[in-house]
Structure 1
Amino acid sequence: MDVEISLNGKRGGGNIFNWQNWDVEISLNGYDTEEREIAAIPDAILQKAQDLQRLSSKLSILPAHQAYFLLRTCICVPKMNYLLRASPTWLCGDELDQFDSVGKSALEAVTNVKMDGLTWAQASLPVSSGGLGIRRVAELATPAYLASVYATSSVVSDITTATECYDLVHQLWQTASGAELPAENVRRSQKVWDAALVKKTCEVIVNTFANDVTHCARLLAVAQPESGKWLNALPVPSLGTLMSDESFRVAVGLRIGAPICSSHLCTDCRLPVDEFGHHGLSCKKSAGRFMRHSSLNEVIRRSLVTANTPAVLEPRGTSDVDERRPDGVSQLPWRNGRRLAWDVTCVDTLALSNVISSSTKAGEAAKKAEEEKRRKYEYLADEYDFVALAFETFGVVGPACLKFLRELGKRIMDATGERRSFEFLLQRLSIEIQRGNALSVTSTVPRSDGLNAVYFVL
């Protein structure tokens, strides 16, 4: 290969080259540099896939929650970002699919959940859209490249006037998304290009389950902003945000609608339980309901203490008529000279009494539960500032509850100086809900004597 370089113009002073004063012409005789660059992309993608496979094989030594967090934020798609934005990887569909296959296998190994078809399609969506955030690079290739093209368009236009490649990637994106090109002032944003493809995928999933109210209610619930907070929490044992492997597995399976157990009879009520395990979430005899209720109340109480508002749980003497009492009462005034009183409830999104309304609008079950709680404790209105804190098993928060949590988060921020207090509060509450869900589901499975039983032979 012959290389010819000619430098025309003024010479820079000293030992430092001032490239603005040079006219550099480089020609590679007998070699097409564009073909060389494109030919190298498949090998680069396959090398990334090998690196991903090697790194993901080491995740088994970590707890599942921590392994997932590393896979999502460090090991999988983040390792491909530069390649996706700097080269037309969308020309190499087979290689991108191979990388995605490795990522899918790694996610299955970490979560211990089988993902096929629609479950993998949902898992690969962003957390904000109801997925697990392990994105498919085959879907990200065109948004990443287009965003990079428009972000550097002013520089690229000075170098070349070729637009055939850009026209092709536009066509591919429009075919996949079924949308018109975004406005010119937002084309630099990868999120804008990606949002149309995510919306298309969500529509396909929802249309597939259009006649199944259970899955429709689930999909609506997990797409709400607060339902995926547990996936964004940093899994640290000392902070209480690390979920056990079994809790994490069940939480993932419930979120994406994957089978999490075999069909069996509930050990508590003897009713049938299907492979999705939803019965445990609404079983009145489930042990997880009580643990979840206590955990949520304890998080609220500790948060109030952090906000300089001490509180007690299960106070006595709030009713002169019967034994009704709210879950907690503050010991100092909360607002307008009145003490705060609250009562927590976590209703099942997919319960027979809620699934119809939940399949049409997210959060209807929580909203209904808040209204019932306010009627139950209306006698407290004169003395206390009462708030009903209603959550759903799939993470949706009732409107009154969300308003209270925002105020509580602001007060914690004022007391501690931590600007992310509201976000951290939602994450902790979301994790406690998922732990309760996992216990509710697993408690329906019949238990047998373990190996330790041999040590108790009479």
Structure 2
Amino acid sequence: MGVAKLIFGLRTCQPSYVGAAVTLFDEGLRQAIDDIVVGGGPFFGDLQWRLASLPIKEGGLGLLSAGDVSSFAFVASRVQSLELQDHILRACCMGDLDSDFRAALDGLQAVLPDVDLGGFANKSTAPREPQTILASAFYGKTVKEINGVFGLSPRQKAVFDCLRAPHAQDFLTVIPIEGLGQCMSAVEYRSVLKYRLMIPLYPEDEPCPVCRKVCLDSFGEHALHCKELPGFKYRHDLVRDVLFDVLKRAGIAAKKEAPVNFLTDPKEGRSSLRPADVLVFGWSGGKHACIDLTGVSPLAGFRGSGFVSGQATQKAEAGKISKHEQACIDNQHAFLPFAFDTFGCLAPVASGFLKRVQKAALAHATVSVGHSYVFSRVGFAIQKGVAAQLVARLPTHDL
């Protein structure tokens, strides 16, 4: 699904020749995404379409618009093959081809006025990876202009920042495998997409059907930090179980829910003793590492100003360190807080831990695995836990 079906045509035809086809394709793509996300219902507007058609690394769903790609694909293809064209067509008159290229280059310059395209027309000065350079410039400009084009509210700005945080979109690259738990129901997946695309999930001013203490906000923030349902613990336990499975498959010795007899809240003493979520044997200088998972909602208590993406996970990480690290050190253990938020952003310690696990997984694998395999699995587990919390509070007619 997406522009991949048209990419050859976009790279070999001058943009002005494919305008009608591009428009028709994008209309069909937008309708398909609309059907998947809201089932033909309301709230899938221009902002949602813009977000869905951004690259994954820019916070989108990676379902690229043909109109966007056509802006730079032809120029990139021509630049990339300048030397080959010169070799094949050196004895031919290339005036018509050059006029097509010049027209496309001028059109692209109008779209990207701040990018110097002067060297793109000469094979001796043309960049080696024009597609990457032009796509980065185009989508970078698009991202910068989103606020001005759509007039984002403070909450929408915060959500967009969260979507662009490192690893927030990793779940989109996972391969559906039921045996690994890498699958969701249609209702779950739709709920996650609505949450991320800023589409209302609940009626306004409806009381939370679980805690009955406060009203649900329409975008689902209360649903994600309400602790009156096992779903809150389910998300934590699901991520823990997937992390343990990843460690096992990477050949890393670990134990789940391991009693260590010293993890406790310093304010409460031994009355609050708890096991390590995951104990990794010999992880740091021969010492066992206690991994303590914690999930947070970055928009809980959102005030509209001073929001910084990733700050919630870093704060949660620091809180865990101040609570448990010294006890682990005193007992000859390492302590690794594993903090993540509802969008999939990971705190620095968690990210560093998974990078090391990823290296071990690649070295241990008997078959080829992707370089983002570990992050994708953990990211999908986070979103599956989020989906469970959102779906638990949906009106019956939406299930």
Alignment map for 1:342-381 (pairs within 5 Å): 342-352=291-301, 356=305, 359-360=307-308, 362-378=309-325, 379-381=327-329
Aligned twin of 1:98: 24
CA contact (8 A) 1:389 1:401 kept: yes
Which of 241, 247, 252 is residue 298 of structure 1 equivalent to?
Answer: 241
Which secondary structure state, in structure 2, belongs to the residue aligned with residue 389 of structure 1?
strand
When residues 401 and 331 of structure 1 are mapped into structure 2, their CA distance, relative to the original with a 3 A threshold, is closer
Equivalent residue, structure 2, for 1:235:
176
**Structure 1 pair 169–331 and aligned structure 2 pair: CA distance change class (3 A):** closer
SS at match of 1:332: strand
The percent identity for this pair of structures is 24
Gaps of 5+ in 1: 1-70, 451-458
* 1:439 match: 388
What SS does structure 1 have at the residue aligned with 2:372?
helix
SS in 2 for 1:311: strand
User: Which string of whole-angstrom CA distances, capped at 9 and with x for unpartnered residues, describes residues 364-400 of structure 1?
Assistant: 1111110000111031122211100000101100001
Tell me which amino acid in the other structure corresponds to 2:352.
K
- CA distances 1:313-371 after superposition (whole Å, capped 9, x unpaired): 152522584223253353732222211101000100111169755x33x2111111100
CA distance in 2, matches of 1:416, 1:240: 19
1:281/1:331 CA distance change after superposition, 3 Å? closer
- What one-letter code is carried by the residue in structure 2 that aligns with 1:298? D
The answer to whether the Cα contact below 8 Å between 2:56 and 2:62 also exists between their aligned partners in 1 is: yes
Matches within 5 A, 1:88-237: 88-112=14-38, 115-154=44-83, 155=85, 158=90, 159=92, 160-162=94-96, 163-182=98-117, 184-186=125-127, 188-207=129-148, 212-237=153-178
Compare relative contact order (CA 8 Å, sep 6+) and give the higher one, 1 or 2. 2
* Separation of aligned partners in 1, 2:173 and 2:355: 18
Counterpart CA distance in 2 for 1:310 and 1:347 is 25
Candidates 284, 296, 312, aligned match of 2:256: 312
Q: In structure 2, how many angstroms separate the alpha carbons of the residues matched to 1:430 and 1:351? A: 20
Give the match for residue 281 of structure 1.
224
Are the equivalent residues in 2 in contact too, given 1:286–1:444 (CA < 8 A)? no
| C-alpha contact (below 8 Å) 2:277/2:290 kept by paired residues | yes
> For residues 275 and 119 of structure 1, what CA distance do their matches in structure 2 show?
16
Aligned length: 373
Q: Distance in 1 between matches of 2:201 and 2:303?
A: 22
Paired letter, 1:407: R
Moved more, 235-244 or 308-317: 308-317
- Distance change >3 Å, CA 349–CA 309, structure 1 → 2: same
- Residues of 2 paired with 1:188 and 1:168: CA distance? 21
CA contact (8 A) 1:209 1:216 kept: no
Letter in 2 for 1:405: L
User: Please, which runs of 5 or more residues in structure 2 have no aligned partner?
Assistant: 120-124
Normalised by the length of structure 2, the TM-score is: 0.85
Given that 1:288 and 1:438 are in contact with CA atoms closer than 8 Å, whether structure 2 keeps it comes out as no
CA distance in 2, matches of 1:331, 1:161: 66
In 2, the alpha carbon distance for the partners of 1:429 and 1:331 equals: 17
Greater radius of gyration (CA): 1
